[in-house]
Structure 1
Amino acid sequence: MKRQDFYYELPEELIAQDPLEDRSSSRLLVLDKETGAFSHHVFKEITEYLHEGDCLVINDTKVIPARLIGSKVETNAKIEVLLLKRKENNVWETLVKPGKKAKVGAKISFGDGLLMGEVIDVVEEGNRLIKFDFDGIFEEILDQLGQMPLPPYITHQLEDKNRYQTVYATHTGSAAAPTAGLHFTPELLEEIKAKGVDIARVTLHVGLGTFRPVKVDEITEHHMHSEFFMIDEEAAEKINRAKETGHRVICVGTTSCRTVESAADENGHLEAKSGWTQIFIYPGYKFKVLDCLITNFHLPESTLIMLVSALAGREHVLAAYEEAVKERYRFFSFGDAMFIQ
């Protein structure tokens, strides 16, 4: 299967640069995965598609303000550091720009020395391991100095950091938001619960591999970055109960989908567990847990459009995307949503 099979034309002006004032007023394209039929709605109407006994799976990861702007000690050259993965003893795997200035031994100062970093190693694909030195609590310093790591296609500055967080974000650790969850408000979640829908919270810390383009022509040769996930007993129980009673498991976002599909056994049964996943879902994949998916519109030729194509079929997905372009939907992280049922 070729990367080019997942290409579609997208006018640049349809890439949403800012979040809407009211999260739940985004548009919603509902796609029938069997027939390819679609219809247009407003996101808050999602409640009409959720039924008593269904289980809605949300990813409660919290984005860290992972983008740090510092200067190289001695030369004062500007260096941008993106925190990707926490290792041990205040060491992080990072993406550094420009990389050529970040040789092993280079020291970087952030916030006039409030935070200091030293490059201690180069890892795969040129990422750097940086050991940080500071007084106090790292998370508090990061809150003070860090910026939200918005995707490269968003060029506007974000006025309110919380708009790149879901309203249920709890466990810190993501380098990017699980953006399908950005459409939910506390009121909408209450309405969903009142319908008798179970809400299961899982955690997957989104890595930047999410935005990493597929460069190989043959998609099966693409290598996914690993991401850390956690499913507790309560979430496993809710998801298993929906499956066992003949109800649907509806994942909010590709991250929740990857979490449950990584953790399930061959029969689609879940146990409480945590670990790392490199799951790559593309057409031909047989879903073990997920029945329906709430998701945003994804980049052409990305692993995410491949995932939704595995669920609804490539032709159906591309036809729906063509329709969304024609109807001037807003695309990507701050854009509109799709419900695949």
Structure 2
Amino acid sequence: MNTPLCQADDTKLKVELESLLDQAKYLVLEKFNKMPLNAILEKINTLYQDIDLNSTSKSITIYLSENIKSVVKSIWPVAHNTVQVSDKFDLRPLIPIITNFKEYHILVLSRQGVKLLYARNDQVINEVKDKTFPVLEGAAYFAPGFQPLDESSQHHLDEFLNNLDKALIELYNSTGLHYVIISTATNYDRFIKAARFKSIYCAYVPLSGDHTHHTLAASAWNALLLLQKQKKESRIELMKGLIKNGRAITAKREILNAARNGKGDLLVINKDAAFNGDEEGACCEMVWNVINKKGDVILADQNEMQSIGNMALKLKY
């Protein structure tokens, strides 16, 4: 169920949730009327009081069974507000959470110096404060209009950027987290020119006049989402080409076996496909095995899946 942000009046959301819960009770009674249902019906009846519709999530996915009650909040919207009653859980709403979860660092170069923030998705978790960061003594280098006056000041600037890059490489080697740089265009150009391994600095965002941790994280996350969108589009086109040349597999049983054996490099799935209970279970197992063995999973809509089918797998070679 989608829970749009900035909802001035949550009355509509409450009505929608009540409607979905009523639908869930009806479907449970219809599908499993010959089984003991008191426990699951009681959970449905009391679930409403456990749901906070005023959170910062964009959707909620609820999993209920006799032994399970789990409410998963996500910053990713779902395709439709819907109820599914089956003997297996549909885990596809969790795939965007798993595959798009992102930890990274935000490197801020400003007149106040060098600040490093640790972020997850669209939120700053904390500022990195250690023997290196924040760097305050080099603030003058990032002041608006700064230009080296002579060879000596240029040497000091080069040395400062070199040492900063060294520290960031060392941190990257220990954490594996990429950097989003937020600065003026001039400062970004100077820094990236001095950087040894430019690939660890994955995105650049122009620095605005007034900024908070919240606005910095929002800007950095939007830049990463754009990169993810571009990557998704290119990988879907790659898959179409592989299928055309007979170099990808599309049969569900073959995909499942390859995923179990750790051979899945890229799995593309139609997020709108209608799977039965057994197919849903197999789909979730495929996703888990591919991700667990360091492959990529992409959820695509019906239009994007043209010429692919419901799923396809690129093998590791």
Q: TM-score, normalised by structure 1?
A: 0.26
The structure that has the greater radius of gyration is: 2
Q: TM-score, normalised by structure 2?
A: 0.27
Which has the larger helix fraction?
2
